[in-house]
Structure 1
Amino acid sequence: MDTVEYGIAHASRLMTDFAERTGLVGSQQSPQRYLWTDAFAVCNFLGLARLTGESRYLELARHLVDQVHHVLGRYRTDDARTGWLSGLDEREGEAHPTRGGLRIGKPLPERQPEEPLDHRLEWDRDGQYFHYLTKWMHALDQVSRATGDPRFNLWARELAEVAHATFTHGPPGRRQMVWKMSTDLSRPLVPSMGQHDPLDGLITCVQLEATRVLLSGAAAGPGPRRAVEDFAAMLHTTELRTDDPLGLGGLLSDAGRVAQLGTQGAFRDGTLLESLLTAALEGLSLYSLYGERSQPASRRLAFRELGLAIGLSSIGLIQPAVDERTAQQLMSATALGSELASFWLAPEHRAVRSWTEHRDINEVMLATSLVPEGYLVLEGFGGWRADVTDSA
């Protein structure tokens, strides 16, 4: 079995186990859904469908989308409120399941207005994260691109509309973002801004509009121009550099999307791609010096390192858009991605508590590092030129 076949076979086993363990398949009455993990899982199923030609993976992707919307698009079972987060009736909620956003899927209910903020406890409380919503927008959009079905892109654009409206605030030119909102999007739970949230918002909105144009039969729905303008303005004052492996992986994955969108006329001056790669290369240098790679598995967080491995897999998508010197710098980092994935493939490293306590997210992102195509590659490009990108 060659390396590619091994990666597909191992990713297939990981994703099959995940589907059974979390109630996506089988008779489990209360499926366990978590938005970040499920976004990567949808993309993994799409990638496996593309690589194997087996339709069952595409059906799993569709089924997971439906289950996420019916679990995380509605109030928790222990909440006094019921129904769709949007407040729509059952029929309209089914047609527009993302109009009220999507819950994170944390184990504890959200903090109530009268409760003081406990930063440690807040990590386990429900609510809505902007950077989780953009991951789900991307997953929905990838389903549209894989299937040609415009509904998923429409749902992603409706989610982008409500996320922009509720997570951003302030006067034009001085707008900011909230990191975490309440389940009903009525109040901030953590008011600080996520470092890369404007970046994720900008690139994702441009991508969604690109797909809408590509799918000529897509429903009109909301447009992203105002959101693109707001996110682009915030990005001018945002520090992109980080030595956090998950953040670095995000920068590289975003650079891969920008490079692909650039072939169709988006981000035409190359400034954003240059900024992303400058920040990523500086961060990779710091991570190589000070990262946790020399630590035992018990002191490392797999999903953060696997996020970097996934981002490094996008280098092949970036290279055609950059000069030879930058391409060589990027190529010199590719071995790191293989090193990280290989480390977490070792059974003894997956026996430690830091792995088992986060098994779902770790295994799904390990699968993504083995078959990154479904997450990284934007399918179905034609000759469109999205007018919305003029301001980006």
Structure 2
Amino acid sequence: MEPSTPKGLAMAAMTAVYGHFDELSPGEADAWVPPSSPGAGGHRGRYLWTDAFGVVNFVTMAVGTSSEKYMTLAKRLVWAVHDVLGRTRDGTARLDRATDQEPLKGGLRIGKTTESGPDCDGQYHHYLTLWMFALNRLSVAAKDPAYNDLAIQLARAIHPHFFVEHAPGQMHMVWKISTDMKTVLVQSQGNLDAATGFIIFKLLQDTAEKQGRGKGLLEKEVDDYAKVMGRKEETHPSGDPLDLGMGLWVSHIYPDEAWSSEFKGRALALAGRLISKDSPTLNRPVARRLAFREFGACLGISCCDAMSPELQAKVEAVLDFWENHVARGFEEELRPISQVMYAAARNPGAFRMSYLT
């Protein structure tokens, strides 16, 4: 793999997080334990958002090279995340409600380094849905329904805890809940949480039907998201690069959904301005720019089939800027998340629905 190609640059970024995995023999891959250092950051070396990107990137490598080794590494990373973030912080027990037979019934911790305080550990809806997507892509690529089954198990487990009654008969979503899922930590609703839940849960349900697991397995949950979306304005894309990019990515999964088509049209127009060379966002001092947020925008744009050559050139200019910047300008604490998102932006692969069809 040529180091200067998009795939080579993506491989280098993944190596910075997960070590020299490319040198492993098939037998060594079978016993691989993802490193805690450099690792994904977070608690005990695992951070749910970063490792979700890691799994999808490994699936991209596996399909792109027809190498079973990368598929094995994706499965090993899934095991490690469930073993660390599916347990209490001391690692002695699974989270409440979870068992060895149903390891995701207690949800998954974010992997924050602190147990309490304003940025403490807990569970985020948008992290959990991204992890469900990673399990789904692994399930489809590996032709193993067990991973999509796990995603559905997680979906059912966390869903009711992110919905609270705002008024009699009216539910709204919350941003963050405690690790044991008993307490709401942030009352506000994430900008695209309902739309993301609707799309990802629908994807899990449709995959389960194709895999012969049953029909309508998440019908109630999908309906709940649709009701919340009907009461909240979900079609206005945010000017935040990461939020904009992840919205574009979600919208491309089911492009013919009414929400998706409306959001995508508005978001692509905004994206073109956001990553242009005269954009205020890109003209801030490097110290005030967050690389991973810009990579989110680049990934979302790259997942859209309607991307113009002009927009593609703007995406490549952003990625080249960070590649050429000294050490890519990544802050130490944000280095793992920046690396895996850079890898995905360079080589979107399995983040694109067309990649596995």
TM-score (norm 2): 0.86
Q: CA contact under 8 A between 2:108 and 2:123: conserved in structure 1?
A: yes
The whole-number CA distance in structure 2 between the counterparts of 1:360 and 1:21 is 15
C-alpha distance 8-21 of structure 1, shift in aligned 2 (>3 A) = closer
Matches within 5 A, 1:156-175: 156-170=151-165, 174-175=170-171
- Per the TM alignment, residue 356 of structure 1 is displaced from its structure 2 partner at its CA by 2.7
The whole-number CA distance in structure 2 between the counterparts of 1:202 and 1:27 is 33
Aligned length: 338
Segment drifting more, 68-77 vs 335-344: 335-344
- Per the TM alignment, residue 31 of structure 1 is displaced from its structure 2 partner at its CA by 4.7
From 302, 307, 329, give the equivalent of 2:296.
307
Amino acid at match of 1:17: A
Q: CA contact under 8 A between 2:34 and 2:80: conserved in structure 1?
A: no
Amino acid at match of 2:221: A
Q: CA contact under 8 A between 1:33 and 1:105: conserved in structure 2?
A: yes
Amino acid at match of 2:317: E
Q: Cα deviation per residue 1:287-328 (whole Å; 9 max; x = unaligned)?
A: 257542112322200000000010111122xx3xxxxxxx7x
From 66, 90, 96, give the equivalent of 2:79.
66
- Per the TM alignment, residue 275 of structure 1 is displaced from its structure 2 partner at its CA by 1.8
Alignment of 1:87 with 2:97, yes or no, is yes
TM-score (norm 1): 0.79
The whole-number CA distance in structure 1 between the counterparts of 2:271 and 2:261 is 15
C-alpha distance 359-169 of structure 1, shift in aligned 2 (>3 A) = same
From 38, 48, 51, give the equivalent of 2:51.
38
From 105, 108, 117, give the equivalent of 2:114.
108
Matches within 5 A, 1:199-278: 199-216=195-212, 218=213, 220=214, 223-236=217-230, 237-239=232-234, 240-259=236-255, 262=256, 267=257, 271-278=258-265
Task: Please list every run of 5 or more consecutive structure 1 residues that lacks an aligned counterpart in the other structure.
Answer: 112-121, 320-326, 382-392
Amino acid at match of 2:217: G
- Per the TM alignment, residue 225 of structure 1 is displaced from its structure 2 partner at its CA by 1.2
The whole-number CA distance in structure 1 between the counterparts of 2:340 and 2:208 is 28
C-alpha distance 253-61 of structure 1, shift in aligned 2 (>3 A) = same
CA RMSD of aligned residues (A): 2.7
Between the aligned residues of both structures, percent identity stands at 34
For the residue of structure 1 that corresponds to 2:185, the secondary structure is strand
Matches within 5 A, 1:1-392: 6-20=5-19, 24-25=33-34, 31-77=44-90, 82-88=92-98, 93-111=99-117, 122-123=118-119, 125-170=120-165, 174-216=170-212, 218=213, 220=214, 223-236=217-230, 237-239=232-234, 240-259=236-255, 262=256, 267=257, 271-284=258-271, 287=274, 288=276, 290-316=279-305, 319=306, 332-348=310-326, 350=328, 352=329, 354-377=330-353, 381=357
- Per the TM alignment, residue 11 of structure 1 is displaced from its structure 2 partner at its CA by 1.4
For the residue of structure 2 that corresponds to 1:94, the secondary structure is coil
- Per the TM alignment, residue 378 of structure 1 is displaced from its structure 2 partner at its CA by 5.3
- Per the TM alignment, residue 164 of structure 1 is displaced from its structure 2 partner at its CA by 1.2
C-alpha distance 244-173 of structure 1, shift in aligned 2 (>3 A) = farther
Q: Cα deviation per residue 1:80-108 (whole Å; 9 max; x = unaligned)?
A: xx4111334xxxx2332211100000010
For the residue of structure 1 that corresponds to 2:5, the secondary structure is helix
Amino acid at match of 1:284: A
Q: Cα deviation per residue 1:181-225 (whole Å; 9 max; x = unaligned)?
A: 000000101111111100110000110011101112x3x598211
The whole-number CA distance in structure 1 between the counterparts of 2:153 and 2:89 is 22
Amino acid at match of 2:158: A
Amino acid at match of 1:253: W
Q: CA contact under 8 A between 1:181 and 1:187: conserved in structure 2?
A: yes
For the residue of structure 1 that corresponds to 2:316, the secondary structure is helix
Amino acid at match of 1:138: F
- Per the TM alignment, residue 285 of structure 1 is displaced from its structure 2 partner at its CA by 5.5
For the residue of structure 2 that corresponds to 1:176, the secondary structure is strand
